A and B are shown apart, each in its own frame.
Chain A
Amino acid sequence: EVQLLESGGGLVQPGGSLRLSCVGSGFTFSNYAMSWVRQAPGKGLEWIASLSGRNEKIYYADSVKGRFSISRDNPNNTLFLDMGSLRGDDTATYYCAQDFAFLATVPSYFDKWGPGTLVTVSA
């Protein structure tokens, strides 16, 4: 059974930094693109970043480009999101998601999701 578990969320001051992690199990981690999707409290879903399985391609939403960095440690089945220059509108639950397609270099649909980790940016 595929399982994803995010960690690293919490309260951070505006302008601060935070690193989120997502550990995957139940599948060969390096064979799947992975993504981060966030959801502000009471709001809709926003895709923010994707990374192919073997680091061939990286994609970012404009809202986080230059401030956030997605990376992965395949031997340890872990996806990361390094977040910097955090702002109030970055407050959200952050989900990691496994891509639907096996060995896809261009991420497609988000298939399996973790339960999410809440990031609150506030003074």
Chain B
Amino acid sequence: DIEMTQSPPSVSASVGDRVTITCRASQSVTKWLAWYQQKPGKAPKLLIYTTSNLLRGVPGRFSGTGSGTEFTLTIINLQPEDVATYYCLQTHLFPLTFGGGTKVEIK
């Protein structure tokens, strides 16, 4: 199975800051990586698919980069509504596997 390791587990930043979350795969997932946002008590929401494609309606302050085994989700100009836990998901091989999550909070 492909293990997805996210870092950091949590991050606290100020409104307007830039936040970077990293997801590392135990083997190459080529470009088949997505990012999800989950707010407390809610279902996850797909933000980015195939590494860098923003879903329609997702604010442009979110972006994704990477390939192979290392990927990043960047949030620029952090907003209060971005408080959530973010997960990466690899869809290169079954079983599909998620990262452990990164909790983003506002200072």
Interface residues of A (CB under 8 A from B): 37, 44-47, 50, 59, 61-62, 95, 100, 107-111, 113-116
Contacts and interface: CB of A to CB of B under 8 A. Distances in A.
Of listed B91, B99, B100, B101, residue having the most chain A CB within 10 A: B91
Interface stretch (B20-28, B43-51, B61-69, B75-83): B43-51
Contacts of B74: none
Interface string B34-54: 101010001111100100000
Contacts of B43: 95, 113-116
Interface string B6-41: 000000000000000000000000001010101000
Contact of A109 (B42, B89, B97): B89
Q: How large is the interface on B (under 10, 10 to 19, 20 to 34, 35 or more residues)?
A: 20 to 34
B95 A62 contact: yes
B49 A100 contact: yes
Contact of B98 (A47, A62, A111): A47
Of listed B32, B46, B95, B100, residue having the most chain A CB within 10 A: B95
Given A95-B43, A100-B49, A115-B43, A61 B95 contact: yes
A47 B44 contact: no
B96 interface: yes
B71 interface: no
A45 B96 CA distance: 11
Of listed B32, B45, B91, B96, residue having the most chain A CB within 10 A: B96
B49 A109 contact: yes
Nearest to A63: B95
Nearest to B42: A115
Nearest to A50: B96
B98 A46 contact: yes
A47 B95 contact: yes
A47 B96 contact: yes
B95 A108 contact: no
